[in-house]
Amino acid sequence: MKFNLLKKHAPNAKALSFLRYIGPGLLVTVGFIDPGNWASNIAAGADYGYALLWMVTLSTVMLIVLQHNAAHLGIVTGKCLSEAATENIRPWLKNAILTSALLASVSTALAELLGGAIALNMLFKIPLKLGAVMVLAVVLFLQFTNSYKKIEKIIIGFVSLIGLSFLYEMLIVHVDWRAAAAGWVTPAFPPGAMPVIMSVLGAVVMPHNLFLHSEIIQSRQWNLEDELIIRRQLKYEFADTLLSMIIGWAINSAMILMAATTFFVKSMPVNDLAQAQTMLQPLLGGGAAAVFAVALLFAGISSSLTAGMAGGSIFAGMFGEPYDIKDVHSKIGVLLTMVPAVVIIFFIRSPFDGLVYSQMLLSIQLPITIFTQIYLTSSKKVMGKYANSVTDKILLWTFAVIVTALNLWLLASTIFGL
């Protein structure tokens, strides 16, 4: 029984019963607003104004489709992506896939912990390495002392605070909403913008989030022997995913809008998060700069939590087990994800290097996870009559190829300077 939350009865059919399903999508959303996305979004707004808002829209559409497909697997099979791979893929190949996914979770955790450490340095001048250890201590405390439901509520709270922080930022800047509306739906490729476009679109779908969503959606499982309940579960899951991804779209858009209305209009390029916070102070006042740093801290902590949960789910799944923080395999998975990430931070030359290296590993691993997921969700042996339809396959493969091409392009440009 996963999370000790399964019940052998159908959910309330009233409209408000949907609220009982809100949560899993928001946990995934924090991966869409992690410190890495902050850097890309702020660079997009500072360098190109409203012109690249369309990439947030496109990335959100791709994210909805792929995350819904991952959750679909969890609902229908009662297993996460890692468990399904263990059960349906040859052991040597399964071990290679899941080991690479665990390494990707470490890479993700590195960027998230680094983001939290940068925020602590902004707020209290705490050295980055010490800040990373402090964020790690908070994250491990929350993961090992709270049930899943409490973690879910904490992260929803963090997402809400991040959203409110950027709402505050929006209230004190002047946004050209007509230009913004055009930017959201009109693809544009300004000269020199391809690296920024690739970094946002290519990194928006993260391997650990696909594993995580297929796991945590089962906290809303009911009696899966009843086809009507399965269909209702799928409907509510999609609504949760759609709502959550729209929230992620709004927050990411707000980052670009904030950068466009402050830095772009004054022709001030921004190369890192600390620089952005420093520049905000004379432009918008100390309050805005502090809100920016606090929101980054919340983003770093919440995304670190989900990275650790994903690592625990992947490692437990290698043994055919669900994520359960009371179980030794889940605990080991969390530690194997979080502790090495902090150790690596001690050896990198600069925060920028850390973000570059983490993105490189994600660029290599992401296609492996996406193609594994599509293989499993397209298999009638795994999914039965709920296997991907022809339309589903076309859409999934199209997005998979786009995301993969962008990630490989980004990897090549990073290594060879293309």
pLDDT digits (tens, 9 = 90+) for 61-93: 989 999 999 999 999 998 999 999 999 999 999
CA 285 to chain centre: 30
pLDDT digits (tens, 9 = 90+) for 108-134: 999 899 999 999 999 999 999 999 999
Mean predicted lDDT score pLDDT of the chain: 86
Instruction: Establish if 99 belongs to a structural domain.
Output: yes
What is the C-alpha separation between 361 and 403, in angstroms, rounded?
A: 15
Helices and strands (DSSP H and E) totals, the chain: 17, 0
Secondary structure of residue 317 in the 3-state scheme: helix
The token pair that represents 92 in the structure block: 């040597």
Output the pLDDT for position 3. 42
Q: CA-CA distances (angstroms) from residue 277 to 26, 38, 176, 290?
A: 26, 12, 22, 8
Residue 20 DSSP symbol: G
Contacts of 42 (CB under 8 A, 6+ apart): 255, 256, 258, 259, 263, 270, 273, 276
**pLDDT score of 162 more than 60:** yes
What is the C-alpha separation between 156 and 244, in angstroms, rounded?
A: 10
Instruction: Establish if 6 belongs to a structural domain.
Output: no
Instruction: Establish if 184 belongs to a structural domain.
Output: yes
What is the C-alpha separation between 184 and 48, in angstroms, rounded?
A: 13
Instruction: Establish if 11 belongs to a structural domain.
Output: no
**pLDDT score of 6 more than 60:** no
Instruction: Establish if 275 belongs to a structural domain.
Output: yes
Instruction: Establish if 66 belongs to a structural domain.
Output: yes
Burial 286-301 (b: 16+ CB within 10 A, else e): eebbbbbbbbbbbbbb
The token pair that represents 372 in the structure block: 């594994």
What is the C-alpha separation between 370 and 97, in angstroms, rounded?
A: 11
Mean pLDDT to the nearest integer, 86-113: 95
What is the C-alpha separation between 88 and 97, in angstroms, rounded?
A: 12
Least confident stretch, 215-229, 230-244, 343-357: 215-229
Asked if residue 192 lies in contact with residue 303, where contact means CB atoms within 8 angstroms, the answer is: no
**pLDDT score of 29 more than 90:** no
Mean pLDDT to the nearest integer, 291-320: 94
Instruction: Establish if 9 belongs to a structural domain.
Output: no
What is the C-alpha separation between 52 and 106, in angstroms, rounded?
A: 30
Q: Which residues span the domain enclosing 122?
A: 19-416
Residue whose entry in the numeric block shows the structure tokens 């300077």 = 417
What is the C-alpha separation between 350 and 171, in angstroms, rounded?
A: 34
CATH assignment at residue 369: 1.20.1740.10
**pLDDT score of 184 more than 70:** yes
The tally of domains found in the chain comes to 1
pTM, full prediction: 0.88
Output the pLDDT for position 2. 45
Instruction: Establish if 3 belongs to a structural domain.
Output: no
